[in-house]
RNA sequence: GGAGAGGUGUCUGAGUGGUUGAAAGAGCCAGUCUCGAAAACUGGAAUAGUCGCAAGGCUAUCGAGGGUUCGAAUCCCUCCCUCUCCGCCA
């Protein structure tokens, strides 16, 4: 959510951002409602001031033993009017809030303007793609090796909920530990979080109201199964104010993630490419506004480092305005090369939200410079999402005789070097 | 799940209808004193909205949301959370 005052004072910049992100422009309606709102506040508060003044007088009169009936009678009409105004104000503010939620965050100037994924810029590529000859997609390999059981997963839970069996299960556990250890070395505090959250938290990171269909919901208890650790970890500091010197704060959290993926079918969903439940290590930062773009670069570097250590070829995309999402000001996607499918798979998405989330969640810091409280900037990025990494490892490291070599850095964790 | 107690500012903690945005103490910031510090003394300090060029004014906020009243931290209702005891349990 943006700041009303910011919209009022930077109307044109906000409008430009809306166009670039191809969102609906409700700015005129917002400004009109804001005017109404302020008129109502003006009248209402004037009357409240009067009420407070007269009430104090009534108290004094009663103390002095005088009769205050006439004044009280007069206040009754004021009271009614105040109630009316408050009701009108409430309805205006409800409409206003609704529209405010439709205003996207303003893209950073360094972000390329564009409409579709084709306008994203590939800004960096690393590693050598294995030659494609004779390489199989991971689902063929895992089924031959019997290490991922999609069928039994369907029986037990449903499509998109596989079992990892034996060495695949150990490989996953190894990756989680490897990712968390790396994050720890790079200054992130490890956090083990709830994997369900309440309504306030779901609202805080913006999953509701607009993305409610993306989540599994335990309706009986009004709990939402998290689609990413970003939700509990960012909400960790909801409604808190930091000292400036505490910033930046960095967390790494491993959680299972649950996504309904309603309406997404087709060939993209084969094997491990798209699941309803998957594991992910998420990196989250709370930082001083002056450093947030440097922090975005280092966040990206932290995620890239993992891919380099694993020896997986990848590329970095700088997302264009039209494809970057509603809440971000700037976003990089990291895509790993899956040689068996001859395809790039997104494994991390590193974003700066500036104050967009912090405002919604009321996360501030006390500025030394101004003496005031200001909103922090929040960032997050995957570090990394597991299934597609597993897919890439299997496809890129497959041997002609159908085995899979485990990357060197993982072997201390897996305690085996080959999956066979 | 049953029974009880409670949620007040950074913290401890007073306050049960009328100058209470809120006592007191601690902590914090600034100043005086000091070579410096401590102690002592003096002063300052909430957040948001709104009006104003500004100084400053006004409004709201005592877990959250409603209600009663001329007036609510104080009374009523709903919800949330914490603690204690009992039961159940990985």
In tens, the pLDDT along A85-143 reads 999 999 999 899 889 988 999 999 999 999 999 999 999 999 999 988 889 999 999 99
pLDDT value for A240: 86
Q: By mean pLDDT, which of A23-27, A42-46, A207-211, A219-223 is the weakest?
A: A207-211
For residues A69-81, average pLDDT: 87
- Tens digit of each residue's pLDDT (9 = 90 or more) over A234-244: 999 888 888 88
Concerning whether A349 is annotated as a catalytic residue, the answer is yes
> Contact at 8 Å (CB) between A338 and A388?
yes
Q: Is the CB of residue A53 inside 7 Å of nucleic acid strand B?
A: yes
Concerning whether A259 is annotated as a catalytic residue, the answer is yes
pLDDT at residue A20 greater than cutoff 60: yes
ipTM of the complex: 0.87
Q: What are the structure tokens assigned to A204, written together?
A: 């805080």
Q: Which nucleotide is nearest to A373 (CA to C1')?
A: B47
For residues A366-370, average pLDDT: 77
Mean pLDDT across chain A:
92
pLDDT value for A211: 79
* H-helix or E-strand spanning residue A77: helix A69-100
Concerning whether A274 is annotated as a catalytic residue, the answer is yes
Q: Is the CB of residue A81 inside 7 Å of nucleic acid strand B?
A: no
Q: CA-to-C1' distance for A240 and B62, Å?
A: 19
Concerning whether A388 is annotated as a catalytic residue, the answer is yes
DSSP tag of A351: E
Q: Is the CB of residue A51 inside 7 Å of nucleic acid strand B?
A: yes
For residues A169-191, average pLDDT: 97
pLDDT value for A76: 86
Q: What's the CA angle centered on A202, arms A26 and A15, to 5 degrees?
A: 20
Q: Is the CB of residue A52 inside 7 Å of nucleic acid strand B?
A: yes
d(CA A348, CA A331): 10
Q: Which CA-bearing residue is nearest the C1' of B59?
A: A45
Residue A262: pLDDT band with limits 50, 70, 90: low
Q: Which strand B bases fall within 7 angstroms of a protein CB?
A: 18-19, 47-51, 58-60, 70-71
Q: CA-to-C1' distance for A184 and B73, Å?
A: 46
pLDDT value for A68: 81
Residues 6+ apart with CB under 8 A from A288: A244, A247, A248, A365, A376, A377
Q: By mean pLDDT, which of A153-157, A204-208, A306-310 is the weakest?
A: A204-208
pLDDT value for A73: 86
CATH T-level topology, domain A4-100? Helix Hairpins (1.10.287)
Task: Name the residue ranges covered by the structural domains of chain A.
Answer: 4-100, 117-419
pLDDT value for A200: 85
CATH T-level topology, domain A117-419? BirA Bifunctional Protein; domain 2 (3.30.930)
């Amino acid at each position: 959510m943006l700041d009303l005052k910011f919209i009022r004072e930077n109307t044109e910049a906000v409008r430009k951002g809306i166009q670039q992100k191809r969102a609906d422009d409700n700015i005129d309606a917002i400004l009109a409602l804001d005017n109404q709102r302020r008129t109502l506040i003006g009248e209402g508060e004037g009357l409240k001031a009067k009420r407070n003044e007269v009430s104090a007088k009534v108290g004094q009169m009663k103390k002095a033993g005088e009769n205050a009936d006439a004044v009280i009678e007069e206040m009754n009409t004021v009271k009614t009017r105040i109630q009316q105004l408050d009701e009108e104000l409430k309805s205006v503010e409800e409409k206003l809030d609704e529209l405010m939620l439709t205003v996207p965050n303003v893209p950073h100037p360094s972000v390329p303007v564009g409409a579709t994924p084709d306008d994203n810029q590939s800004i960096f590529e690393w590693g050598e793609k294995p030659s494609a000859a004779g390489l199989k997609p991971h689902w063929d390999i895992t089924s031959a090796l019997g290490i991922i059981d999609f069928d039994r997963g369907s029986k037990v839970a449903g499509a998109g909920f596989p079992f990892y069996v034996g060495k695949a299960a150990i490989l996953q556990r190894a990756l989680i530990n490897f990712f968390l250890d790396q994050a720890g070395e790079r200054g992130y505090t490890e956090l083990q979080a709830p994997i369900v959250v309440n309504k306030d938290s779901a609202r805080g990171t913006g999953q509701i109201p607009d993305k409610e269909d993306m989540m599994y919901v335990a309706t009986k208890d009004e709990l939402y199964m998290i689609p990413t650790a970003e939700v509990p970890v960012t909400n960790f500091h909801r409604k808190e104010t930091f000292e400036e010197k505490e910033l930046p704060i960095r967390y790494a959290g491993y959680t299972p993630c649950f996504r309904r993926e309603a309406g997404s079918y087709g060939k993209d969903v084969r094997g491990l490419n798209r699941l309803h439940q998957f594991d992910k290590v998420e990196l989250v930062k709370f930082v001083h506004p002056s450093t947030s773009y440097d922090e975005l670069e280092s966040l990206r570097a932290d995620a890239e480092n993992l891919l380099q250590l694993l020896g997986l070829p990848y590329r970095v995309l700088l997302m264009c305005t039209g494809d970057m999402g509603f809440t971000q000001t700037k976003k990089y996607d990291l895509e790993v090369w899956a040689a068996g499918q001859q395809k790039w798979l997104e494994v991390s998405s590193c974003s700066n939200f500036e104050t967009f989330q912090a405002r919604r969640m009321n996360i501030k810091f006390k500025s030394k410079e101004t003496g005031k409280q200001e909103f922090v900037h929040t960032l997050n990025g995957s570090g990394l999402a597991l299934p597609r990494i597993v897919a890439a490892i299997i496809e890129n490291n497959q041997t002609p005789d159908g085995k899979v070599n485990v990357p060197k850095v993982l072997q201390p964790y897996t305690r085996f070097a080959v999956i066979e």
